[in-house]
Amino acid sequence: MILLENISKVFPSKNGDIEAVSNVHLHVKKGEIHGVIGYSGAGKSTLIRCVNLLENPSSGKVYIDGQETTKLSTNQLRNVRKKIGMIFQGFNLLKTATVYDNIAIPLRLLGFSKEEVNKRVEKYLSIVDLTDKHHTYPSELSGGQKQRVAIARALAQEPEVLLSDEATSALDPETTDSILDLLLKINEELNITILLITHEMNVIQKICDNVSVLEKGKVIEQGSAIQLFANPEHPTTQKFLNTISQRKLSASLISQLNLEGVVARLTFIGENTGQPVLAELTQQFAVKPNILTANIIELKNGIIGNLVIHLAGEEKIVDEALQFLRSKEVGIERLEGE
């Protein structure tokens, strides 16, 4: 649905060029929710603005629904942009217009009849659960309600793609959750493809199918959310994961425990999370597992369990025990200390 082919964006500045986005390749398939996560300054906003060409890439190609948009005329581009809705961290509502008009005005500008405008405003206000707010002004709404109006406005143009630029960053955790639920509903019921940017791992955890991690304008890791949460390879991805689950033990504690046995992180995916493998382990091998940390991460498409254990016992038997766990498709990472 969205294909970014080797996109770069360079901003000239007095102190030299700034390469905000560097050779990014990203494919978002129809119907998926793809999250781009990165710290401040990573290039997320610039990248998402390249998708609807609010920002012209310095090089590379953008395809929407198979059509290369980077070579279209302004008129042709206007038609493609109708397929793409966008929501923002700051909501971007018209302060002097009611909720109804905030959604209706862009439709009127697109030339829809009064009846069609009315039909769409009613339909999308109902989808975002704000049917009682027609005559309310944005200043009288909470942040979450403002974002719902912005979402209704984006949906009213009946786009195929929704771009979300940090849409939940200004909201408290509970409101964030309700907006994420709404994005899931839009994705599932209206089959709208969503590309979102965020610096919050819980957003990725809750609604994304696939993820790209951006750092200094480059994609440093890309894959399914399950893959990234189960086996984060890049230190920056690992740092993001630490924000939602405490994965780290101190190096000195690990060193101390490694003197007698090994410290290992066991990762269970999906159905594996329910298997009593540690009980089987102690029945079959003369080892004593001691659980140091444990957590379960619920993702949109599955569950991942993490256990960090200390396995005491004879070296050869400990190795066999770890081999047994691998044979049960448990991910094993031996942790080294100082």
Give pairs for 235-244: CB < 8 Å, separation 24+: 236/39, 237/213, 240/37, 240/201, 240/213, 241/201, 243/200, 243/201, 244/201, 244/202, 244/205, 244/297
**Which pair of tokens denotes residue 189?**
């019921």
**Which pair of tokens denotes residue 156?**
């009213």
Task: Determine, following the binding rule CB under 6 A, whether residue 171 of this chain makes contact with ligand ATP.
Answer: no
Q: Which is nearer to ligand ATP, 43 or 313 (CB)?
A: 43
**Pattern 179-218, ligand ATP, x by CB under 6 A:** --------------------x-------------------
Residue 184 C-beta: closest distance to ligand ATP, Å: 23
Closest CA relative to residue 214, chosen from 33, 45, 17? 45
Q: Give CA angle at 156 (50, 180), nearest 5°.
A: 70
Residue 50 C-beta: closest distance to ligand ATP, Å: 10
Task: Determine, following the binding rule CB under 6 A, whether residue 220 of this chain makes contact with ligand ATP.
Answer: no
Q: Which is nearer to ligand ATP, 43 or 261 (CB)?
A: 43
Q: Rounded to an integer, what is the distance from CA 69 to the centroid of its chain?
A: 24
Name the segment binding ligand ATP (CB under 6 A); options: 42-50, 179-187, 298-306, 321-329: 42-50
Q: Which helix (H) or strand (E) holds 333?
A: strand 331-335
Closest CA relative to residue 184, chosen from 165, 203, 159? 203
Closest CA relative to residue 242, chosen from 295, 179, 298? 295
Q: Among 2, 33, 35, 45, which residue sits at the site for ligand ATP (rule: CB under 6 A)?
A: 45
**Pattern 228-247, ligand ATP, x by CB under 6 A:** --------------------
Residue 171 C-beta: closest distance to ligand ATP, Å: 16
Task: Determine, following the binding rule CB under 6 A, whether residue 43 of this chain makes contact with ligand ATP.
Answer: yes
Task: Determine, following the binding rule CB under 6 A, whether residue 8 of this chain makes contact with ligand ATP.
Answer: no
Q: Among 4, 42, 50, 99, which residue sits at the site for ligand ATP (rule: CB under 6 A)?
A: 42
Tokens 């109902």, residue located: 126
Residues in touch with ligand ATP (CB under 6 A) = 11, 13, 18, 20, 38, 40-46, 199
